Amino acid sequence: MHPLYVPHGRAEAVPIWFVTAASYPHLRDVLSAAARRYADAAGFEPKPGQMLLLPGEEALSGVVFGIEADDKPAKDHFLAGRLPGALPKGIYRFANAPHDERLAALAFALGGYRFARYRAAEDREVRLALPAGVDGAELARIVDGVTLARDLINTPANDLGPAELEEAVRALARRHGAECRAVVGDALLGENFPLIHAVGRAAAAAPRLVDLAWGDPAHPKVTLVGKGVCFDTGGLDIKSDSAMLNMKKDMGGAACVMALAHMIMDRGLKLRLRVLVPAVENAISGAAFRPRDVYRARKGITVEIGNTDAEGRLVLADALALADEEAPELIVDMATLTGAARVALGPELPPFYTNDDALALDLARHAGAENDPLWRMPLWRPYESLLESKTADINNVASGGFAGSVTAALFLDRFVTAARAFVHLDIFAWTPSAKPARPEGGECQAARALYALLAERYAV
């Protein structure tokens, strides 16, 4: 069980009442006279996110916490994530049901996250007695996966380069009894991963492809590919200082697929899992790849470099080609790929792309149910012409500057031809300003929705 949770039924747990403008008058009527007087004197209003601590004779007698009205169409099921940072030390319980008890309990733990590697984070010793019927083990594996992703994304590149990211994958493999191997440095050329090598060869830390395998080979094959660019200068097409500031998060795709892999393996889903992480740093030196260079990718497709700052799709292309050679049932890639996705949908709503309508409907349904928002965008084939090159089969960037996220997805789609289904997620992996259950900094996006989908399909 996660440290923020205690078993259901702890008698000493302080009750938390969730109230709306409509339900608060009833709760007020059943409070003690002293508690009513205190609430009135404090001027409490049952607005979403507002909290009132009710004093008792020797300790807290309860907590009143405002949530959205029942009829509000877009409710924030993670509002309870504000509680761990606001409550005093103690054990608490839900005295009545919020809109979704499971999501509220999950938010409680996610809201208690602190990144403490470089700066001590005090344990506020706030705990939640799990609501009856909520599976604590299931919540714990989700919280552990999210914590893993957040910690990796928040770690700066001086402590998380390609070698350290490889070790993080190996540690995950050891934890779950998975196999793991890596192809490192010039060995990438010998094993036909030219794009991964080209992107990472300028850095002091050698580029690599990390390959984790778990599960019964006879089970349906699911392969996860995560962009592991540990820092992105932009290469010779160098980024501005403001654009480079948060580029430690450019391995967020790798972190999120690792979170998803943990959930899958910890649950023991009946599938054969493979995780591929191309881990590189896009640096600048005399060995850096250049605009107008042309490389023959693992897939046999020749790629002209239109911009060295579009490096993520290059390392993904070789990894996707390897994944596709097994013709798995499903390939999923996650990547902090384009600024265009943020312009279109903002930091909180990652787009996803797939040709499989049934998969798209299932993923959207689980994204809504898990409060892990995603939005389907089109693989609009007419835009493939924007990727045309006069000297190669394809350019790594589109001409014209339009539809950047769509054309990046179309580029990747060229490297998957045998898999039964393919979905690409263009994530941000970062929360710019703190929100309930989502502290500012690294964020695990899409993994919870994908895990729910895979659990529905492959649960034992």
Q: How far apart are CA 155 and CA 33, in angstroms?
A: 51
CA distance 445 to 460: 25
Catalytic position from the list 313, 342, 414, 448:
313
**DSSP letter (8 states) at residue 385:** G
Q: Please identify which of the residues 36, 239, 435, 457 carries the catalytic annotation.
A: 239
Query: Are the C-beta atoms of 196 and 313 separated by less than 8 Å?
Result: no
CB of 144 closer than 8 Å to CB of 262: yes
3-class DSSP state of 53 = strand
CA 129 – CA 14 distance, rounded (Å): 9
What does R_g of the chain's alpha carbons equal in angstroms?
Answer: 24
Q: Is 150 a catalytic residue?
A: no
Task: Decide if 395 contacts 389 (C-beta within 8 A).
Answer: yes
Beta-ladder partners of 53: 63
In angstroms, the CA 147 to CA 159 distance is 17
Going by their DSSP bridges, the two strands 294-296 and 302-304 should be labelled as: antiparallel
3-state SS, residue 151: helix
In the residue annotation, 313 being an active-site residue is answered as yes
Burial of 302 (0-12, 13-18, 19+ CB in 10 A): middle
CA angle 443/103/446 to nearest 5° reads: 35
**Cβ pair 353, 379 in contact under 8 A:** yes
Q: 70 in the Ramachandran plot: left (φ > 0), alpha (ψ -120 to 50) or beta?
A: alpha
- What are the phi and psi torsion angles at 15 (to 5°)? -75, 140
| Angstrom distance (rounded) from CA 191 to CA 264 | 29
Report the catalytic residues: 239, 313
